[in-house]
Amino acid sequence: MSPEQYEEICFQIITFAGEARSCFVEALRHAKDADKTKARELLEEGNQHLIEAEKVHMQLIQQEAAGETVPLRMILTHAEDLMMSADTIHVLSEELISLL
C-alpha cells in the first residue's frame, strides 16, 4: 500500500466517523427538543456513516491479516479514536433517546 493510499483510507475513516458523531450529537439535540422522529432519523443516518467508517477500517485489518505491514501513524490513531468516540456516542444516544 502506498503512503497516499494509506492516508486516503485514514481520511475516509475520519470523514465517515466525524459525520457519524455529528449526526449522533444532533440527534441528542433534537431529542432534547422533543423531536423524537428527527432524532431517530439522525441516529440512522449516523449509524450508516459509522458502518462505512468500519468498512474502510476493515480494509486495513484485512491487509494486516494478509501479512502486509500496516504502519501505525498518528493519522491512523486519530482516525481510530474518532471512530471509537463516535461508536460510544452512538450507544449513549440510542439509550438516552429510548428514554423519551
Q: Which of 30, 49, 57, 78 is catalytic?
A: 78
- Quickly list DSSP for the chain: --HHHHHHHHHHHHHHHHHHHHHHHHHHHHHHTT-HHHHHHHHHHHHHHHHHHHHHHHHHHHHHHTT------HHHHHHHHHHHHHHHHHHHHHHHHHT-
What does the block give as the cell for 90?
Answer: 452512538
Q: Does 78 qualify as catalytic in the annotation?
A: yes
Which residues are tagged catalytic? 78
